[in-house]
Amino acid sequence: MYFLNMTGLVDVCKPVPVFQKLHWVSRRGKNRWHFHYGLSWCYSLLNGVSSHVISTGVQIILARSCGSRCDSTVKINGESYRTVWVEPGDGEMCLKIIDQRRLPFSLEIEDLVSVEDVVRAIADMHVRGAGCIGVTAAYGVWVAARESEGDRTNLDLLCGRLLATRPTASNLLWAVNRQLQAIEGKPVEQWSQITLREAGCIADEDAEWCQSIGRHGLGLLEGIAAGKPANEPVNVLTHCNAGWLAFTDWGSATAPIYAAHRSGLPVHVWVDETRPRNQGARLTAWELANEGVPHTVIVDNAGGHLMQQGMVDVVITGTDRTTYTGDVANKIGTYLKALAAKENNVPFYVALPSSTFDWETRDGVGEIPIEQRGGEEVSRVEGRLSSGELAEVDVLNPGSATANYAFDVTPARLVTGLITERGICAATEEGIAGLFPRKQQ
């Protein structure tokens, strides 16, 4: 594992051979990737070309042709990042993630080498957010394909472990199923290459879809701006983190905001802190600050007041699962924002790529499983001490019971529209079918 502080790369690993060091140096740009591949191949030849090395080489090329970290629009300190990617490790391709638990205080990259690592990363929220969970799980199937050693029963068991990590986000099931379909009927020797390529495609698609959401959402924000005095910012309220960290690039709810900001349209974002894990205060705020988007963090209960006072022009949230009838499952507290928005005539939009639609479920409130997480997320809060160290503190009366519902469902009737990669539609069965006709039952 290596560690990046906000100023640069700090190697905290044991001494390593010069060749391995080049792997890290090569992380710094597309051209150096090519340089790296050249070195990899020379190195391989010098050591005798084994079939293992050839397969690793093929995997490097596959990983580079899609799913590269270097393809991202988002930059941290001027360097391109995706949330999940693969790159050459110790003789094999290695799955890498940004460990979101450490943000915004430090940027740490974690290697996931086994299915167990991937399971832990998703369940314990090293990665989180609908699209990012889906992409991580897709790469997780590639790791499972390697671990299963060609045994289909074993592979299914490992995929079952991935699927059990987070019950609400539909991208997880979507991505694992897509991977299993990709290898259906294919020889076992090809599983690893097929799943690696497919995971890269899923990652690329996720980024492209979010970018399109940004384009469509930009039109919406421009329309709102047109009804306001010139140069007054459009005030957007968002909940949780549906930014690029929750996908591979751009984000869903943040994509229109980034598109607007980059096009010169003034925007200001009210960021709900989003207890218990504070994804808004920690992640969304960090993302917006990185992009230079004006924003203000508010406590979760402030939204209603701001809407009453005319200080919110539009609410845009993400979603972890949306039924084909338009019911929206999202981070706990979203429903209350939708109710407040309805009461105050504030438009309430939900941004999502089509991978988040649940094409099987009609009634979101009755049928979507709501994840319940440990009580310690409610009773304890993590933050940074003045010494710079991260620490957790108790915030609860000792011994009091806790309940930690991670999501709620906003009924379609409270949703003004869905911003998708194909355009904006009504949150109704007809509206969704109008944009995605073949997906419907």
Q: Is 317 in the site for ligand MRU (CB under 6 A)?
A: yes
> Of these, 95, 97, 240, 338, which contacts ligand MRU (CB under 6 A)?
240
Residues 6+ apart with CB under 8 A from 223: none
- Joined together, the tokens standing for residue 345 give 């005539």
Catalytic member of 320, 327, 358, 408: 320
Minimum distance, C-beta of residue 126 to ligand MRU, in the bound complex (Å):
11
Number of residues assigned to the chain: 441
Cis peptide bond upstream of 17, omega within 30: no
Q: Is 320 noted as a catalytic residue in this protein? A: yes
Q: Which residue has the tokens 């051979």?
A: 17
When binding is defined by CB under 6 A, the residue of 109, 118, 121, 130 that contacts ligand MRU is 130
Q: Is residue 323 a contact point for ligand MRU (CB under 6 A)?
A: no
| The one among 195, 330, 379, 410 contacting ligand MRU by CB under 6 A | 330
Q: Is the dihedral of CA 89, 90, 91, 95 positive or negative?
A: negative
Among 246, 316, 340, 415, binds ligand MRU (CB under 6 A): 246
Say whether residue 134 binds ligand MRU (CB under 6 A): no
- For position 221 contacting ligand MRU by CB under 6 A, the verdict is no
> Cα(349)–Cα(317) distance, rounded to whole angstroms?
7
Q: Does 241 bind ligand MRU (CB under 6 A)?
A: yes
Closest approach, Cβ 137 to ligand MRU, in A, equals 12
Query: Are 203 and 85 contacting, i.e. CB atoms less than 8 angstroms apart?
Result: yes
User: Applying CB under 6 A, which of residues 87, 204, 287, 320 lies at the interface with ligand MRU?
Assistant: 320
Rounded CA-CA distance 166/182 in Å is 23
Give CA separation, 235 vs 176, 306, 343, 425, in Å. Answer: 37, 10, 18, 22
Q: Does 252 bind ligand MRU (CB under 6 A)?
A: yes
Task: Candidates 16-24, 31-39, 75-83, 234-242: pick the segment binding ligand MRU (CB under 6 A).
Answer: 234-242
Could you tell me the smallest distance in angstroms from the CB atom of residue 19 to ligand MRU? 37
- Phi and psi based region of residue 95 (left: phi greater than 0; alpha: psi -120 to 50; beta: remaining): beta
Q: Which of 333, 98, 174 is nearest to 238 (CA)?
A: 333
Segment 275 to 304, residues that bind ligand MRU, using CB under 6 A? 279
- Give the shortest CB-132-to-ligand MRU separation in angstroms: 8
Query: Which of 331, 335, 379, 418 forms a contact with ligand MRU (CB under 6 A)?
Result: 331
Rank residues 191 and 250 by Cβ distance to ligand MRU and give the closer one: 250
Mark the segment that binds ligand MRU (CB under 6 A) among 48-56, 238-246, 306-314, 424-432.
238-246
By CB under 6 A, the count of residues binding ligand MRU is: 16
60-68, 122-130, 195-203, 307-315 -> range binding ligand MRU (CB under 6 A): 122-130
Cα 344 from Cα 338, distance rounded (Å):
10
Q: How far apart are CA 235 and CA 311, in angstroms?
A: 7
C-alpha dist (Å) from residue 272 to 3, 128, 282, 306, 328: 29, 17, 10, 12, 18
Q: Which residues of the chain form contacts with ligand MRU (CB under 6 A)?
A: 128-130, 240-242, 246, 252, 279, 317-320, 330-331, 406
Annotated catalytic residues are 320
